[in-house]
Amino acid sequence: MLIYDGDCGFCTQSASWLKKLIGTPTDVRVEPWQSLDLAAFGLTEDDVTSAAYWAADDGTLFRGHNGIAMALRAAGRPWSLVGRSMAVPPISWLAGATYSLVAKNRYRLPGSTDACKLPS
């Protein structure tokens, strides 16, 4: 399952795009953290307002670009190839830096709301 910030318009648009990639029916869930029991995943509100998470079936959590990579892997080809490449250096380094940059500036991106701005 991909866990994202449902209060952030940019995050919601990105999650909707991912849902379209994955298609239906599917056993892959894409859910806003606001609809989940975060404690059941071992997450806090601070965790999920600063990054997206992938919660694997075995309980393993993948944060940020690693979470997005896992979600893309679940989307099937050709996106699974993109997700797999995001785990391999040097692409993983670029993906991590890009994710961090987008997360810090998501309030400036199309579809954003005031809730998108991360605390300083």
| Sign of CA pseudo-dihedral 70, 72, 73, 74 | positive
CB atoms within 10 A of CB 15: 21
Alpha-carbon distance of 112 to 77, in angstroms, equals 29
Cα first-last separation, the chain: 28
pTM, entire model: 0.89
Decide if pLDDT at 93 tops 70: yes
Residue type, 70: M
Tell me the two tokens of residue 23.
């298609």
* pLDDT tens digits along 62-90: 999 999 999 999 888 888 999 999 999 99
Residue type, 33: W
